[in-house]
Amino acid sequence: MADGTTGADAVLSVRGVSKSFGPVEVLHDVSLDLRAGEVHALVGENGAGKSTLTKIMSGYHPPSAGQVLLDGQPVALASGVDGERHGIVLLHQEFNLAEDLTIEESIFLGREWRRGPFLDKRRMRAHAAKLLADLHCRIPPTARIRSLSVSQKQMVEIAKATDHRARVLMMDEPTSVLTQDETDILFGLVAQLKRNGVALVFISHKLDEVKRIADRITVLRDGHLVATRPAAELGQDEIAQLMVGRPLHDLYPPKQPPAADAELLLTVHALGVPGRVFDAGFALRRGEILGFAGLIGAGRTELMEAIAGLRRREGGSVAAGAHRLAYLTEDRKAKGLLLQFPSRPNLTLSTLASFTRGPFISVPAEDAALDKAIKAFDLRIGSRDMQVGALSGGNQQKLLFAKVMETQPDIVIVDEPTRGVDIGTKQQIYHFIARLAAAGKGVIVVSSEMPELIGLCHRVLVMREGRIAGELAGESLNEEEIVRYATGLKGAA
């Protein structure tokens, strides 16, 4: 059995840790050491046990078996708060921010500074401003969480976590919603913390990032620790193979661009969304996979939502003829799926009219559709009664795909289709998108992951500050060009 122990100078260790939820064992006999001044990356597919392991190490879950050691001594952490008291801080995957509080209030929630019986707002505000400045985050500490973008919320979470005098800081997918620039800032901060002797844990699905900042890498698969190695010894392909447990060929399917005279499915002309999108125009052909690149906040989602009729638009036109259009939201938890409901009602929610007999819903028809979706999308939903919220991110995303495809669209817009999804599922989603295009549909892919756009799309439009700044295809479709347009080095802004 591989393990991640080193013997000496570990700040925090686990020895033989297992964890079961009911009858399901999600973590099996894992041993690992975290050292001061080292970045330890945890990688693995969704459901491999990464989040559970960090929750055990930080006190949110007690282990079912095995020990947690702090400075070589066994500790029983009673809760996440108890863990923080010992200097072990976990930055959660999901946001834990109250939407109506300000940034300052969020950062100090539960440990407010006071002067006598009164809140010392001035000092807290100044401190919050300093934390944000360290992250090059130009938002006032008095802004409400509700008004922030997803990446800004993440920055607030990071500011909050780093403010604890952490000896161990664990970050569960901190970069999944960050732009390249923000990621660079975060990594600068990580380097700083490393120099200060903090032990860091970094979870990410982005293997290039893992390679970039990790000193050691631990791979988990199905709750087992597969390997712990120095980062220098592992290539990205090797990591992916260890994660999946098999060699991973063909992450991206071969490209089959449409004929130049293929039918136009969608023509957008001079479309605007108040304050967000200006004068956007493009066309989509049958069989084409069209990418949309850009920094977060460039207006890509707003443009797509306006095209799908989910957002008010200002001027311009959208011509789709008789073609049906479907939009797959980037925010599957808040806008895509009913998390407290099982899979069946989620699958049919958009198309319930085709599952009725007379005025009544036909449950057998819905069940049949779910059977088909399970096969077509390789859905692993456990029990049929299981709430969708309890599924892994990859399975949620596949269910959302299945739901959208129930509408039998001719034009499919997918927004961040692989966010928070493991590499095995990513591959499935890419191949699925390619099959859609091969079947004569038009697909628009909005993504912040450039390799994905380059590997998958026939043509990529880059947006910047609400405008389409450039179009890339063929040889010129590469990361450097995308960045030039996205940041305004090239193209009219």
Partner 1 sequence: MSDAATTLGQTPPRPLLQRVDLRAAGPFLALVALAILGTIINSDFLEAGNLTNVVTRSAFIGMIAVGGTFVITAGGNDLSVGSMAAIVSGIMIVLMNWLAQEIGPTPWVVVIVIFAGLALGGLAGLLNGLVITLGKMEPFIVTLGFMGIYRSVLTYIANGGTLTLSGTMRTLYRPVFYDGALGIPYPVWVLAFVVALGAVVLYTTRFGRYCFAIGSNEEVARYSGIALNRVKTWTYILQGACVGVACDIYVPRLGSASSTSGLGWELEAITAVIVGGTALKGGYGRIGGSIVGALILTVIGNIMNLSSDVSVYLNGAVQGAIIIAAVFLQRGVGFKR
Q: Is there binding between residue 364 and partner 1 (CB under 8 A)?
A: no
Q: Is there binding between residue 374 and partner 1 (CB under 8 A)?
A: yes
Distance CA 23, CA 27 (A): 12
Cβ-in-10-Å burial (0-12, 13-18, 19+) of 91 comes to buried
- Binding residue for partner 1, selected from 247, 359, 364, 474, defined by CB under 8 A: 359
Q: Is there binding between residue 8 and partner 1 (CB under 8 A)?
A: no
- Compute the CA torsion angle 289, 294, 295, 297 (nearest 10 deg): -90
- Nearer to partner 1 by C-beta: 35 or 403? 403
- Binding residue for partner 1, selected from 81, 133, 191, 338, defined by CB under 8 A: 338
* Region 37-66 residues binding partner 1, contact defined as CB under 8 A: 47
DSSP 312-358: ---S-EEE-TT--EEEE-S-IIIII--TTS-HHHHHHGGGGGGGEET
Single out the segment in contact with partner 1 by CB under 8 A; choices: 182-190, 224-232, 326-334, 445-453.
326-334
Distance CA 340, CA 144 (A): 27
- Nearer to partner 1 by C-beta: 226 or 379? 379
Give the angle 478-207-139 at the CA atoms, nearest 5°.
Answer: 80
Q: Is there binding between residue 429 and partner 1 (CB under 8 A)?
A: no
- Nearer to partner 1 by C-beta: 179 or 346? 346
Q: How far is the CB of 464 from partner 1 (least distance, A)?
A: 26
Q: How far is the CB of 354 from partner 1 (least distance, A)?
A: 10
- Binding residue for partner 1, selected from 201, 381, 411, 412, defined by CB under 8 A: 381
Q: Is there binding between residue 98 and partner 1 (CB under 8 A)?
A: no
- Nearer to partner 1 by C-beta: 42 or 472? 42
Take residue 415 and report the two structure tokens written for it: 């927004």
Number of residues that bind partner 1 (CB under 8 A): 38
Distance CA 182, CA 41 (A): 19
Single out the segment in contact with partner 1 by CB under 8 A; choices: 85-93, 152-160, 343-351, 419-427.
343-351
Take residue 433 and report the two structure tokens written for it: 């998108």
Q: Is there binding between residue 380 and partner 1 (CB under 8 A)?
A: yes
Contact call for residues 421 and 394 (beta carbons, < 8 A): yes
Q: How far is the CB of 322 from partner 1 (least distance, A)?
A: 17
- Nearer to partner 1 by C-beta: 87 or 345? 345
* Region 388-427 residues binding partner 1, contact defined as CB under 8 A: 392, 403, 407
Task: Report phi then psi at 197, rounded to 5.
Answer: 85, 20
- Binding residue for partner 1, selected from 8, 322, 334, 439, defined by CB under 8 A: 334
Distance CA 29, CA 19 (A): 9
Distances in whole angstroms, Cα of residue 10 to Cα of each of 4, 197, 198, 248, 332: 11, 12, 11, 34, 39
Q: Is there binding between residue 383 and partner 1 (CB under 8 A)?
A: yes
Q: How far is the CB of 393 from partner 1 (least distance, A)?
A: 13
Distance CA 232, CA 62 (A): 33
Q: Is there binding between residue 428 and partner 1 (CB under 8 A)?
A: no
Take residue 257 and report the two structure tokens written for it: 């661009």
Site string for partner 1, 295-324 (x = CB under 8 A): ---------------x--------------
Q: Is there binding between residue 377 and partner 1 (CB under 8 A)?
A: no
Q: How far is the CB of 345 from partner 1 (least distance, A)?
A: 6
- Nearer to partner 1 by C-beta: 232 or 352? 352
Distance CA 112, CA 9 (A): 35
Single out the segment in contact with partner 1 by CB under 8 A; choices: 108-116, 125-133, 373-381, 422-430.
373-381
Q: Is there binding between residue 345 and partner 1 (CB under 8 A)?
A: yes
Secondary structure class of 425 (helix, strand, coil): helix
- Nearer to partner 1 by C-beta: 337 or 468? 337
Distance CA 398, CA 391 (A): 11
Take residue 287 and report the two structure tokens written for it: 């069989």
Distance CA 262, CA 264 (A): 6
Contact call for residues 224 and 213 (beta carbons, < 8 A): no
Site string for partner 1, 197-236 (x = CB under 8 A): -------------------------x--------------
Contact call for residues 272 and 278 (beta carbons, < 8 A): yes
- Binding residue for partner 1, selected from 1, 352, 368, 376, defined by CB under 8 A: 352
- Binding residue for partner 1, selected from 144, 323, 335, 484, defined by CB under 8 A: 335
Q: How far is the CB of 226 from partner 1 (least distance, A)?
A: 17
By C-alpha distance, which of 464, 467, 468, 466 is closest to 483?
464
Task: Report phi then psi at 480, rounded to 5.
Answer: -60, -45
The residue to which tokens 């709750």 are assigned: 223
Take residue 442 and report the two structure tokens written for it: 């038009």
Take residue 298 and report the two structure tokens written for it: 């460039």
Residues at the interface with partner 1 (CB under 8 A): 24, 26, 47, 222, 310, 327, 329, 334-341, 343, 345, 349-350, 352-353, 356, 359-361, 370-371, 374, 379-385, 392, 403, 407
